[in-house]
């Protein structure tokens, strides 16, 4: 049934893929498709394959070449290689290599498929990298250097991101992360003893939670919960002052935590808006325009806070790199133009006039035709 629908639809098939690591240390590549049902004329999505990546213990086992082998098999097995529209993946160099290999493969078959213009970058991964830079990187230069490592190293681990910067800091003590590191230590102190954990939970009504290295969301939730339960955390750190004297949060540090949450709040809301099966590509560029304004306003607002401005600058450097890269694919602009409530008015209102190039509009129109007016359904 799925094979027939994919082969019979007159519209392009938009692919996305990501690597997932199972608890048993096996790695899998999930390949999904989003398309328009030729019968019902509605957008559908399906999982095409969840294949184990071979040779996980060896170097390069989940690089672009290995992922391409699995994708090539899927395209040939379903006989849909001639219908590939856009490809969505995260920002690691392995996906750039995969797209180049896909372009070469299709070119040999007489199909014109441009790797850069057909590559859509995972919006959630962009936000994740930008916020991790804010949390863990202390300068925009360091952020750019870390980005180059992530993007240029094709065979690097699929989990590589700015959270790797935590590891040396962890060895030197979490408090080197500043007030947020102290919050982490306080949460760990609670969890190390059942009595202390239950004592705090009974008084506060819930636990603080705990961060993890993979997603920034966990850090935000820990921060948000801590601030919401500030009076209880202050009671706790006073009661266990002897244990927590090096992690005792001062009034200035509580204020810094509040400023951190205020800066991260838009990222949290945008993450929720652009995740899930109903997220659409138009939201990616729209929310990036929103974040661009947020960075500008935050940088001006905290002109007297050198520490916070440095963190914002590091995050902004990461975000701006991917904001500029949206120019490589006209799909983003096409998605905005096709959205009934945005259209060209959004571009004229939010983009500098220097970005309003007739040539760019003509390219966008080409991609609207290419995707038969369904480009806005591409998962971002």
Give me the CATH code for the 2-121 domain, please: 3.30.420
Instruction: Pinpoint the residues of the chain covered by CATH 3.30.420.
Output: 2-121
pLDDT for residue 176: 66
Q: Mind listing the pLDDT tens digit for each residue in 342-360? A: 878 887 777 777 766 654 5
pLDDT for residue 330: 86
Which residues, given as ranges, of the chain have pLDDT below 50? 56-57, 59-60, 155-159, 171, 359, 369, 371-380
Q: Mind listing the pLDDT tens digit for each residue in 307-341? A: 899 999 999 999 999 999 988 988 888 888 888 88
- Report the side by side order of strands in the sheet with 27-36: 43-52, 27-36, 13-21, 84-89, 119-121
The Cβ of residue 259 has, within 10 Å, a number of other Cβ atoms equal to 16
CB-based contacts of 283: which residues, under 8 Å, 6+ apart?
A: 123, 273, 274, 380
| Strands 84-89 and 13-21, bridge-based pairing | parallel
pTM, two decimals, is 0.84
Note whether 371 and 317 are within 8 A (CB): no
pLDDT for residue 355: 66
pLDDT for residue 365: 57
Q: At what angle do helices 331-338 and 343-350 cross, to 10 degrees?
A: 120
pLDDT for residue 342: 82
How far is it, in rounded angstroms, from Cα 137 to Cα 146?
9
pLDDT for residue 216: 85
């Amino acid at each position: 049934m799925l094979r027939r629908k994919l082969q019979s639809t007159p519209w392009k098939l938009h692919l996305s893929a990501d690597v997932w690591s199972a608890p048993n240390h096996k790695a899998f590549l999930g390949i999904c498709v989003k398309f328009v049902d030729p019968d019902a004329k509605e957008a559908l999505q399906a999982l095409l394959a969840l294949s184990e990546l071979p040779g996980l213990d060896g170097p390069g086992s989940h690089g672009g070449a290995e992922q391409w082998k699995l994708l090539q098999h899927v395209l040939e097995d379903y006989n849909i290689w001639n219908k590939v529209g856009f490809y969505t993946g995260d920002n690691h160099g392995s996906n750039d290599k995969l797209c180049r290999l896909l372009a070469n493969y299709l070119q040999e078959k007489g199909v014109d498929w441009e790797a850069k213009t057909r590559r859509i970058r995972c919006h959630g991964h962009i936000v994740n990298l930008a916020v991790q830079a804010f949390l863990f990187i202390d300068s925009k230069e360091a952020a750019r250097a870390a980005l180059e490592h992530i993007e240029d190293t094709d065979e690097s681990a699929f989990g590589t991101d700015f959270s790797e910067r935590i590891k040396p800091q962890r060895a030197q003590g979490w408090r080197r992360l500043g007030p947020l590191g102290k919050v982490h230590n306080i949460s760990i102190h609670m969890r190390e003893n059942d009595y202390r954990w239950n004592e705090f939970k009974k008084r506060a009504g819930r636990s603080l939670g705990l961060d993890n290295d993979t997603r920034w969301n966990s850090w935000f939730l820990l921060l948000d919960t801590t601030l919401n339960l500030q009076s209880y955390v202050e009671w706790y750190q006073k009661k266990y002052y002897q244990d927590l004297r090096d992690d005792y949060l001062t009034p200035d540090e509580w204020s810094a935590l509040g400023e951190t949450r205020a800066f991260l709040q838009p990222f949290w809301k945008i993450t929720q808006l652009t995740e899930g099966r109903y997220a659409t590509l138009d939201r990616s560029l729209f929310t990036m325009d929103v974040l661009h304004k947020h960075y500008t306003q935050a940088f001006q607002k905290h002109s007297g806070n050198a520490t916070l401005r440095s963190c914002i600058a590091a995050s902004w450097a990461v975000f701006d790199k991917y904001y500029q890269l949206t120019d490589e694919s006209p799909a983003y602009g096409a998605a905005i133009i096709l959205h009934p409530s945005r259209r060209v008015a959004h571009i004229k209102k939010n983009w500098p006039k220097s970005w309003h190039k007739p040539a760019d509009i003509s390219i966008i129109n080409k991609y609207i035709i290419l995707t038969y007016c369904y480009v806005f359904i591409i998962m971002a």
